[in-house]
Chain A
Amino acid sequence: MTFLEYAPAPESTAILNLKPEYGLFIGNEFVAAEGESFSTISPATEKEIARVANASAADVDRAVAAARKAYDKTWSKLSGRDRGKYLFRIARLVQERARELAVAESLDNGKPIKESRDVDVPLVAAWFFYYAGWADKLDYAGLGGNPRSLGVAAQVIPWNFPLLMLAWKIAPALAAGNTVVLKPAETTPLTALLFAEIVQQADLPAGVVNIITGAGETGRALVNHPDVDKVAFTGSTEVGRQIARSTAGSGKKVTLELGGKAANIVFDDAPIDQAVEGIVNGIFFNQGHVCCAGSRLLVQENIHDDVVERLKNRLSTLRLGDPLDKNTDIGAINSAEQLQRIRELSDIGEAEGAERWTAECAIPENGFWFAPTIFDNVSTSSRIAREEIFGPVLSVLTFRTPAEAIAKANNTPYGLSAGIWSDKGSRILAVADKLRAGVIWANTFNRFDPASPFGGYKESGYGREGGRHGLAAYLKGAK
């Protein structure tokens, strides 16, 4: 018996009109790739959704050539006003097809439909709407008058927010006047391919947006392509390092949005119930597949027991299961490989002496699942406190003074995000000043907005996405 019995309320997949097989999207057409196709599966059922093309180096060449031609012949000559109108069209088309995109996202990624429907897809539309308006206002972007676009942008995105990461990459790039070749992650190509249909419906000039599918090899060929002027990558710190090495001396402008190990700091004067909701949202949102996830809970020692108990009670009410069910809180882990990594690191956490607690919930027979898990009494040197797990696993540490909280929060090579929970405004401001992280949420967590710059300090990467700063990543000064 769980918290409350609910009848299943699955979102229908009838709204989808998928093709059995997708080619590469180059020059506004789906074309066949050279290599073998591969299948994209639903992580909740392990059933094939569609087959997608695996782009070879020659395919990457074709896509970059299409983007170069579009840049030289049409897009760089179009006025900002006209570029903006195309982006506004895209924003509207995303809104019109929002339900379809949400269902496809949950099917392919495994995230709960309530997240793809209420967070991912609305933000995608917002992102295009926001940057559409920038296209004819670039003189105000902070680079002086008449800033110039860079050229062809190579964009490689991860599987955790497939369509949202696409929007973060494509919207500012196009607004600034660049053309793009984008590669979605190999496990989540579906919504990018549906987006290609939207590009066709918006009647964008051919070659402005090219979408090529494939794995790491395809991504490498893309970012190292000599005719690429800009590289934007979101993904692991390890791959980010490889890109920084391979693009060294190339003159390519590079932005990297990499891993994180965010501290979520709860002071004893925090509104505890809200904080518990925030902690849950911080680490269990999107199954913890979030680079800015609040994976290290730093709780003031005197409220530790209370917070952990309330947290366990709250987690016991979360529903794990079918991502398409509207009642589902925790969906599927994106891939068998990722599930393996979460299991390994969790076992290490246990072996290193942390106390493991896992919410009791029924695990479906097929698919990849990991029940929400808390590790208590985690030491700062433990691997689960240092390495990014990228799963629904929370490490709990304690502190006594603000100085100790700050020292522990900053004790990581990462610096993407952090959370502060307190009712004392002056303390929030002081602590926020001291945290070495690019995004800080005070009495909230995991909020995103196209007007708000996002990105990391230290080994979480460089460059910003969102806001005026995100636009500057795709421009250079006039001189």
Chain B
Amino acid sequence: MTHIAVPKTYKLFIGGAFPRSESGRTYEVATPKGVFLANAAKASRKDARDAVVAARGAVSGWAGATAYNRGQVLYRVAEVLEGRRAQFEDEIVRQEGVSASAARAQVDEAIDRWVWYAGWTDKFTQVVGNANPVAGPYFNLTVPEPTGVVAIVAPQDSSLLGLVSAVAPALVSGNAVVVVASETFPLSSITLAEVLATSDLPKGVVNVLTGSPAEIAPWLASHADVNALDLVGAGALDWIDLEIAAADTLKRVYPPENGPDAAAPALSRITAFTETKTVWHTKALI
């Protein structure tokens, strides 16, 4: 007897749960040759707002965790990713229509980048922080802190690697993320969400929306409880309008990047979503 496959329902990932879009909408995901793969959830404005609420609720816990702890949790994500690599490779082949070896190379790189960023959690503060020699009896220290809630439009031409390259650096310092996945290749983002959900990452730290970036991104760009906007994958959208909307609450905005090197691993992707805090401690006069 042949086994009749049990296909997965791809839903959203909000606050650690996998809800359908509150709008009830889905859209069809197909191979490049047009073969049906799945009906992905088509997130709405309300879903985006729910995701921001979940992310906001997760910030203090994740930002307050020790850097060592964040590093271990992120490393665990890489471990679980490795264990499920066959599923990722299979999804990449089916979504992107690439060869098995190309899919394997993409998963390899995604895992390696995740590990690279995991190792930064307890180091970037030392690299970008400062003890400042002020002219007075003060101990003056500058440290980076997470910006808060970061909304990301993930690279649209990559199913897994682009997503990982944008999400991982934002998590390093302790931000919580709402990411709009690739519209064409959304399946890997939900499978990655399953990895995140089983890797000790606190719920709400990463929230994944699938659907139309053109529809969802404006709501995130204008949302007053979003602190930063990573437009890395928004090059094909009216991204200047998104930046203008973000100006209302003076969000930090990271511009679109195009091409295969988009969101290449860099310390600047971590620091882009940090704030610089300087504390003056008074020394006693003895």
- The chain A residues found within 8 Å of chain B, CB to CB, are 126, 142, 237, 240-241, 244-245, 248-249, 251, 256, 258, 413, 415, 428, 432, 436-444, 447, 449, 451-455, 457-459, 461-462, 464, 467-469, 477
Contact B249 A439 (CB under 8 A): no
Is B240's beta carbon under 8 Å from chain A?
Answer: yes
Across the A-B interface, how many residue pairs have beta carbons closer than 8 Å? 102
Q: Which residues of A contact B282 (CB under 8 A)?
A: 442-444
- The chain B residues found within 8 Å of chain A, CB to CB, are 127-128, 130, 132-136, 138, 140, 142, 227, 239-240, 243-244, 246-250, 252-253, 255, 268, 275-282
Contact A248 B243 (CB under 8 A): yes
The minimal Cβ–Cβ distance linking B104 to chain A, given in whole angstroms, is: 29
Other than the given A241-B247, A462-B250, 19 more pairs (CB < 8 A) read A142-B127, A142-B128, A241-B250, A244-B243, A244-B247, A249-B240, A438-B276, A442-B279, A442-B281, A444-B280, A447-B134, A447-B136, A449-B132, A451-B132, A451-B133, A452-B280, A458-B249, A459-B249, A462-B252
Q: Which residues of B contact A451 (CB under 8 A)?
A: 132-135, 140
Contact check: which of A240, A241, A245, A453 meets B142 at CB < 8 Å? A453
The minimal Cβ–Cβ distance linking A399 to chain B, given in whole angstroms, is: 19
In the bound assembly, the distance between CA atoms of A126 and B250 in angstroms comes to: 31
Contact A442 B277 (CB under 8 A): no
Q: Which residues of A contact B240 (CB under 8 A)?
A: 248-249
Jot down 24 A-B pairs with beta carbons below 8 A, ordered by A: A244-B250, A245-B247, A248-B253, A251-B255, A258-B250, A436-B275, A438-B275, A439-B278, A439-B280, A440-B280, A441-B280, A442-B280, A443-B281, A449-B132, A449-B140, A451-B133, A451-B135, A451-B140, A452-B142, A452-B278, A452-B280, A453-B130, A454-B278, A462-B252
Q: A449: nearest residue on chain B (CB-CB)?
A: B134
Contact B227 A467 (CB under 8 A): no
Q: Which residues of B contact A442 (CB under 8 A)?
A: 279-282
Contact A458 B278 (CB under 8 A): no
Q: Which residues of B contact A428 (CB under 8 A)?
A: 281
Contact check: which of A249, A439, A458 meets B250 at CB < 8 Å? A458
Contact A438 B243 (CB under 8 A): no
Q: Which residues of B contact A258 (CB under 8 A)?
A: 250
Q: Which residues of B contact A444 (CB under 8 A)?
A: 138, 280, 282
Instruction: Across the A-B interface, give the 5 residue pairs with the lowest CB-CB distance, nearest first.
Output: A249-B240, A244-B247, A248-B243, A449-B134, A443-B282
Contact B244 A248 (CB under 8 A): yes
